[in-house]
Structure 1
Amino acid sequence: MTIETPPTTQHFLTLLDLDPDEAERLLARASELKQLRQRGEDYRPLVGYSLAMVFEKSSTRTRVSFEAGMAQLGGSAIFLSPRDTQLGRGEPIEDSARVLSRMVDGVMIRTFEHETLTRFAAYSQVPVINGLTDRFHPCQLLADMQTYREHRGTIRGRRVAFIGDGNNMCHSYINAARVFGFELHIACPQGFEPDAEILAAAPEQCRLTHDPAAAVAQADLVVTDVWASMGQESEEDERKARFAAFSVTPALMARARPDALFMHCLPAHRGEEVSAEVIDGPQSVVWDEAENRLHAQKALLERLLVRPSRSGSGR
């Protein structure tokens, strides 16, 4: 008997799983939870809840933020790597989803193929969260949008420049432009453009160029990412040559607005995609951005996992 996802189960596979109002409420809640934490207030709505964290890709920020977030909300997180599970030994994704979702209250997956995530979600009885795939990184965008909101207010109507590879971060910025209503200018080398279908879905919000100076002009936010992501190590030397003109330097930042912010999802390679003067300079908010992974994901966990009828919750 096939177990399909119950209609009441809400997943977070891309930013498009949130409508604009939901997304804004989530960011506001993330900042509230951040303030609770800073005041030392004990808030534990997830007592008795557990989150399975499936990692096929290594991680620092994703693992620590989800694990710490569950602990701070009173729940527990279970780390699962391919070496530790039957997924790594060839068990069908559908079977793993059926089993895990009967034992835990939510599942976070960080993997390579986006299809792995969507197949798992189709057979899960509990919310599934995208901790990163090769196609999208929506949790990072929640943190980025929260960070901009805290420093500059609404991003709606602002101009954002994404410089570098048309990768999962670029795809998620395209989706963010649709959800949060900003203008996105993407600059990447020829042959490294974002997925044409994802870009075509946002014709009013997004512009593509191969000139980083044009993309950054009058931008309110400048964003970049590594030139070679996990799984692309063999292409590193070639990419360095192709991306050399796409480094975010002080000269490039000078073309943006004087109060423009700089973001990077980390880890960063100083002297490659960004200069040390920029990432360690006054316009950089990368450390707030990294911390906000914790708070944005706590808001997401609260939204997806808490059920009012669940006994033992702190609500």
Structure 2
Amino acid sequence: MNRITVLDDYQGVVARLDSVRVLDGLAVELDVLTRRISDENELLRVLRDTDTLVLIRERTRISSRLIAALPRLRLIVQTGRLSDCIDLAACARHGVAVRDGSGNPIAPAELTWALILAASRRLVGYAGQLARGRWQRSTPELADEQLGRALCGRTLGIWGYGRIGRRVAAVGDAFGMRVVAHGREQSQQAAEADGVAYLADRRDFLAQVDVLSLHLRLCAETRHLIRRDDLAAMRPDALLVNTSRAELLAPRALLDALGDGRPGAAAIDVFECEPDGVGDYLDHPCILCTPHLGFVEQDTYEAYFREAFTHVRDFIRDAGGGSAI
């Protein structure tokens, strides 16, 4: 019997997905953990009988110590694209195979626009005050009230014009926004091919945008790329939206920049050291926070786990362990 463990299913939905049927007929036991285990010693105890580990994106880091201490572990599958949360060198040393899946730009692009619209029109504040009996108010105190604003005619900046950035830009164009792009050479080529203005100078780019949306891939070159002094170039009424990776910004760069008044607001879906890292951003009057929902929706989960469980099925069958239950 091959024991498959899925980590960090915060919402308890994986076992109910249609994609689980990919495993039908295999001699497997599926164990889905809904409680996050942050202590590595406890995680070692929980996973001691696991043959196959399925990760939901980068929610848990799989260290060399963890890999070395799990002698039954033979396969790790990461949903979506492979990231640096798995110690690949340790996997190679201990004979643990690693598989990943493909990304999907649709859900994160849609969430980006949900955040842009919600933050621009102050929807969360209005809804919260309405629930407390205050009509057409977004804050408890009148002295703190601000009007939301429309997007037509304003400038949308896309930093990282790839598959997701391109979708976000297309919606901005449909809203009547001026769209500008910034990033590396690939972004420039893609933007110019789409007729989108590319601004090579970082500070000039940041100074022009009313809404800045980050869509960079996290790597050594982009980690902590955006600093407090970069954000100081933004307008005091600008909105920064990050559905990509928290580590694109230097530590505390956004919080300090908001304290300086540039930009004026932020809407963020990603945090360092999730979920605990959200604490510094919660209840900030200028920040709208969501709990890393970029890929958390039905269609993406079905696609992610169909790929993941197909990798598991193929691995088991290739290893000669695919007999029917």
Is TM-score (shorter-chain normalized) higher than 0.5? Answer: no
Which one has the bigger helix percentage?
1
Q: Which of the pair has the greater relative contact order for Cα pairs under 8 Å at 6+ separation?
A: 1
Larger radius of gyration: 2
TM interval, shorter chain, is 0.3 to 0.5
- Normalised by the length of structure 1, the TM-score is 0.39
